[in-house]
């Protein structure tokens, strides 16, 4: 679907299914509410899917890669050639996201949204290259508005193809040297917070690098003047191709009632773009974790996302999403597989 049609098709969450799930949780053999956020999660998954007993079997993590013109401005501790090197590492199955996806039974789809490298064909790699990296946001817009639409629509198409194959939940993942810089710029543009409050050390900047990064983002915002009331404008001016692609994955999943497990800092920036364009997508998003990257909390608060895990991760790739997907699956199994008090012949609370 086109971006416009996709946004128009995002439904309301199903209040009836949520209510049915909530009633069932209260009949299961445990004190009410004693499974805490797992219970809450199962009710949300019912609302998202429209199923009183949602199931999560087909799990996919979409890891999108792109290069960033701004990476040449000293905002990352790693050189830009690491972007394609890590894509190849994903394809060989030995990066962190591969290990964690296998652990939770999820498949990974790797998408080249705009890497400055020509990959050989590979069954697990989709080439949706918008360009060989964005322009530096420190000098002008990252991409044209048309390219921003192209990136988002590529994401919609990728997730729709997976939904056609039976996808029950999608996790977001990213790879792109320098991409905490556009993500922080998006966060600053949409929240209005000071750049210095949002920017962190990314993959490991020192103090001088951090100061340079703040200055680059402040310059990018001053030069580009992204319009906080226009998510597409923010993406085009200070975003990235993989960020746009992930925003498309999010919108596409929401339009088909599929839950999206949002990974860390970069994925949350993509979620913010999606929400800025379509606030009705918000109920379909679940935050996997609170990244150790500074500013992530500010972004999650803006997006209304409460993280499941807080274990100092800050890698991206979809690593946090993998762990979050396992919790979502656990929540569905609790709802479907536990006995009720009646079924088990267990006395309920004395009231």
Q: How far is the CB of 285 from a copy of itself (least distance, A)?
A: 17
Cα 87 to Cα 59, 98, 306, distances in angstroms? 20, 11, 30
Q: Which residues contact 210 (CB under 8 A, 6 or more apart)?
A: 199, 200, 201
Which of 79, 140, 279, 304: binder of a copy of itself (CB under 8 A)?
79
The residues facing 349 across adjacent strands are: none
The interface mask with a copy of itself, positions 101-140, x = CB under 8 A, is -xx-------------------------------------
Which of 9, 32, 57, 225: binder of a copy of itself (CB under 8 A)?
32
Interface with a copy of itself (CB under 8 A), residue total 59
Which of 81, 118, 227, 342: binder of a copy of itself (CB under 8 A)?
81
Q: How far is the CB of 144 from a copy of itself (least distance, A)?
A: 31
The region of 97-105, 110-118, 219-227, 242-250 touching a copy of itself under the rule CB under 8 A is 97-105
Q: Are 64 and 242 spatial neighbours (Cβ–Cβ below 8 Å)? A: yes
Q: How far is the CB of 2 from a copy of itself (least distance, A)?
A: 37
Instruction: CB nearer to a copy of itself: give 164 or 311.
Output: 311
Q: How far is the CB of 104 from a copy of itself (least distance, A)?
A: 8
Which of 8, 15, 99, 211: binder of a copy of itself (CB under 8 A)?
99
Window 310-349: residues binding a copy of itself (CB under 8 A): 310-315, 319, 323, 326-327, 329-330, 333-334, 337-339, 343-349
Q: Does 31 bind a copy of itself (CB under 8 A)?
A: yes
Instruction: CB nearer to a copy of itself: give 129 or 290.
Output: 290
Q: Does 88 bind a copy of itself (CB under 8 A)?
A: yes
Q: How far is the CB of 59 from a copy of itself (least distance, A)?
A: 13
Which of 113, 308, 321, 325: binder of a copy of itself (CB under 8 A)?
308
Structure tokens at 310: 């807080």
Window 148-207: residues binding a copy of itself (CB under 8 A): 203-204
What is the number of other CB atoms lying within 10 angstroms of the CB of residue 75?
29
Which of 20, 53, 127, 309: binder of a copy of itself (CB under 8 A)?
309
Which listed residue (162, 242, 317, 329) is catalytic?
317
Q: Are 18 and 168 spatial neighbours (Cβ–Cβ below 8 Å)? A: no
Structure tokens at 27: 């009949």
Window 35-54: residues binding a copy of itself (CB under 8 A): 35-38
Please confirm, yes or no, whether 39 is among the known catalytic residues. Answer: no
**Contact positions toward a copy of itself, by CB under 8 A?**
28-38, 77-79, 81-82, 85-86, 88-89, 92, 94-96, 98-100, 102-103, 203-204, 292, 308-315, 319, 323, 326-327, 329-330, 333-334, 337-339, 343-350
Residues marked active site are found at 317
């Amino acid at each position: 679907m086109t971006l416009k049609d996709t946004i128009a098709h995002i439904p309301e969450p199903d209040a009836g299914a949520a209510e049915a799930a909530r009633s069932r949780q209260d009949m299961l053999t445990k004190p009410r509410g004693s499974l805490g956020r797992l219970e809450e999660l199962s009710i949300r998954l019912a609302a998202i899917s429209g199923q009183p007993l949602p199931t999560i079997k087909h799990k996919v993590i979409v890891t999108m890669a792109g290069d960033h013109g701004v990476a040449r401005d000293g905002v990352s501790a790693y050189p830009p050639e690491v972007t394609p090197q890590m894509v190849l590492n994903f394809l060989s199955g030995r990066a962190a996201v591969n290990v964690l996806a296998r652990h939770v039974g999820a498949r990974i789809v790797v998408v080249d949204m705009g890497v400055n490298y020509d990959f050989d064909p590979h069954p697990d790699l989709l080439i949706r290259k918008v360009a060989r990296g964005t322009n530096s946001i420190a000098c002008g817009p990252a991409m044209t508005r048309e390219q921003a639409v192209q990136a988002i629509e590529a994401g919609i198409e990728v997730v729709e193809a997976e939904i056609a194959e039976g996808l029950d939940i999608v996790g977001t993942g990213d790879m792109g040297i320098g991409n905490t810089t556009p993500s922080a710029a998006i966060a600053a543009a949409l929240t209005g917070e000071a750049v210095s409050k949002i920017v962190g050390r990314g993959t490991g900047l020192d103090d001088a690098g951090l100061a340079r990064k703040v200055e680059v983002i402040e310059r990018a915002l001053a030069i580009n003047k992204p319009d906080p009331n226009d998510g597409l404008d923010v993406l085009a001016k200070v975003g990235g191709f993989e960020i746009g692609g992930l925003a498309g994955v999010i919108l596409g999943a929401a339009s088909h009632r599929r839950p999206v497990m949002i990974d860390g800092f970069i994925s949350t920036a993509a979620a913010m773009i999606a929400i800025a364009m379509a606030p009705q997508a918000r109920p379909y998003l679940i935050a996997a974790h609170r990244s150790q990257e500074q500013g992530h909390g500010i972004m999650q608060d803006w997006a209304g996302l409460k993280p499941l895990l807080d274990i100092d991760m800050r890698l991206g790739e979809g690593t946090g999403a993998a762990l979050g997907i396992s919790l979502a699956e656990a929540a569905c199994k609790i709802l479907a597989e536990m006995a009720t008090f009646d079924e088990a012949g267990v006395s309920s609370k004395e009231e």
